[in-house]
A and B are shown apart, each in its own frame.
Chain A
Amino acid sequence: MTGLRTETVPSIAEAARRLRAGDITAVALTEAFLARIAETEPAIHAYVEVLAGTALTDAARADADFAAGIDRGPLQGIPVGVKDIYDLAGVPTRCGSRALDTAAPAQTDSEAVRRLREGGAVFIGKTVTQEFAAGVVSRPARNPWDPTRVPGGSSGGSAASVAAGSCLVGLGSDTGGSIRIPASVTGSVGLKPTYGRASKRGVYPLSWALDTVGPIARTVEDAALTLNVMAGHDPGDPTTVELPVSDATAQIGRDVEGLRIGVARGFFSERLQPEVASAVEMALDVFRGLGAEVIETPWTNAKAARAVAMILNRVESASVHERTLRESADLIGDDLRIRLVAGTTVPGTDYIRTIRAREAIRESMAALFAEHHIAALLTPTLPTTALMADDLVHRVSDELDEPVGMAYTRLTQPFNATGQPVLSVPCGFDDHGLPIGLQIAGKPFNEAELCRIGHAYEREAGWYQRRPPL
């Protein structure tokens, strides 16, 4: 052990700089993060399996490459947490489900993992997911800001680990908000790329028309650096697009003066925790202070977009799990099984109508951006902060409760119907000291501009520098 402390390496960008300066080694960095895992796991439970042995081998390989003058890019030597729905060769993919308790080790890497491995990443462990990536709680993982609370989901383990400082970036997936929701409640950055930007091959599907894979990190730049490695066309995933991959970091550092930023209210400002509403208003002031033109851009299709995403999600996930549902339904948790059964009840004509409605939804979002000449659309990521682990509902008022799953996906799910790229960045804290997330939706396949906007806000507001008292 070298005595390196993880808090002295707060980002991928900083670690990459120090690795190349010869100031630290990948092995020392990995040992430091393994020590941090040992320190935080008793309270956080972010990992299904810690891969200390293979991680140190990965790290030694990264160091050998550095010594030989081989630079595989900014992820070389960086400890990565992998959501347990991604195949990682040699390790079982259990998807947080009893149905896969006896799964054999994966034979090959998922495409995203393969690309990261080629980029020299160090896979430090498999992180907790809600069962089959369907849900927002991610038991048994807990929130580093308050371990009596949930880290969100379904990529809750990855977000909890990033927030706890036990990895530098976590891989997530987002079908209804599963990257953005845990990023929001853990004070992390979540980047849901454009649908089709990164390959899902080797990642257990939930709803193939909506599924996206992407990173959860501490900063926008780190998320962009990771996406750069993951992104690109894959002939093995026909939903990926044959477009050159633009550098998601290309515009980072540019200011946002003169950019038009839309604010969606209406649907997106209903039933908000008061601190969430005021944090978003303060974020708008930050953008105004940076010289952006903040304008009101109501989007009247938000509720319809959510309905479209929910129906696609329910029907397709029921199809994915049809055989298990028929032959061994008792292996699926009650919560998920009920949702799957609901999906089987949707008439085929409604499913097809939903697919066709989605086209109109996407066009209406494109029209909103074009009509108002906006570069991004802002909303809160969630209507509330992290709920208690045993909460069944979000208490909107004395008269109104909203089920946790419905509350947490309410503002994220519409953007799975539109397919555009979306960031969640920290934008403040509530009275309990819990993080609040700002959702920034960008233009399809323009992650570079989205990350420019997110980074400019992040640096000016400074919330990303706060760490949990763990």
Chain B
Amino acid sequence: MQEHRDEDRGRERAVSAKVMDDVGSNMEEMIAVVRHLEVDESPPRLPFRASWTLEEKRQ
């Protein structure tokens, strides 16, 4: 397992620059998409949670 991890680390270093570029540009693109979505911008009702359940929907 350790041997595989060492191989991984070497490979990761080699690809990290590419990953950094990809992740950075993807995040920018995704944020731009969300900023253009029409969302309810009225003050949220409390309690305001990040999670959801069917029960919350029913309420």
Contacting pair A238 B8 (CB below 8 A): no
Contacting pair B9 A48 (CB below 8 A): no
Q: Please report which residues of chain B, range 22-59, place their CB below 8 angstroms from some CB of chain A when the two chains form the complex.
A: 22-24, 26-27, 29-31, 33-35, 37-41, 44, 50-55
Q: CA–CA, A294 to B22, complex, Å?
A: 37
User: Which residues of B come within 8 Å of A, CB atoms?
Assistant: 1, 4-5, 7-9, 11-13, 15-16, 18-20, 22-24, 26-27, 29-31, 33-35, 37-41, 44, 50-55
A360 with B23, Cβ < 8 A, contacts A45-B4, A308-B34 known: no
Name 11 interchain pairs, CB-CB below 8 A, sorted by A: A140-B8, A239-B53, A241-B53, A242-B55, A243-B55, A307-B29, A335-B15, A345-B27, A356-B41, A360-B37, A392-B15
A sample of 8 more A-B contacts (CB under 8 A), given A242-B55, A338-B16, A342-B24, is A209-B52, A239-B51, A334-B16, A335-B12, A335-B15, A346-B31, A353-B34, A405-B22
Measured between beta carbons, the chain B residues less than 8 angstroms from A350 are 31, 34-35
| Interface assignment of A406: CB less than 8 Å from any CB of chain B | yes
Q: CA–CA, A308 to B22, complex, Å?
A: 18
Measured between beta carbons, the chain A residues less than 8 angstroms from B38 are 360
Q: Which of B23, B26, B39, B55 lies in contact with A241, CB distance below 8 A?
A: B55
Measured between beta carbons, the chain A residues less than 8 angstroms from B15 are 334-335, 392
Contacting pair A311 B34 (CB below 8 A): yes
Q: Which of B16, B35, B53 lies in contact with A353, CB distance below 8 A?
A: B35
Contacting pair B53 A333 (CB below 8 A): no
Q: CA–CA, A354 to B39, complex, Å?
A: 9
Most A CB within 10 A of own CB, among B9, B13, B26: B26
Contact bitstring A87-113, B, C-beta under 8 A = 1, else 0 = 000000000001000000000000000
Contacting pair A445 B16 (CB below 8 A): no
Question: Nearest-CB distance from B33 to chain A (Å)?
Answer: 4
Number of A-B contacts (CB under 8 A): 111
Contacting pair B22 A196 (CB below 8 A): no
| Interface assignment of A195: CB less than 8 Å from any CB of chain B | yes
Contacting pair A355 B50 (CB below 8 A): yes
User: Which residues of A come within 8 Å of B, CB atoms?
Assistant: 45, 48, 98, 139-140, 195-196, 208-209, 238-243, 303-304, 306-308, 310-312, 314, 316, 333-335, 338-339, 342, 345-346, 350, 353-360, 362, 390, 392, 403, 405-406, 419, 444-445
Measured between beta carbons, the chain B residues less than 8 angstroms from A358 are 52
Smallest CB-CB separation from B22: which chain A residue? A403
Measured between beta carbons, the chain B residues less than 8 angstroms from A405 are 22
Measured between beta carbons, the chain A residues less than 8 angstroms from B19 are 334-335, 338, 403
Measured between beta carbons, the chain A residues less than 8 angstroms from B33 are 303-304, 307
Question: Nearest-CB distance from B24 to chain A (Å)?
Answer: 6
A338 with B4, Cβ < 8 A, contacts A209-B51, A357-B39 known: no
Q: Which of A238, A346, A444 lies in contact with B51, CB distance below 8 A?
A: A238
Q: CA–CA, A346 to B34, complex, Å?
A: 12
Question: Nearest-CB distance from A135 to chain B (Å)?
Answer: 10
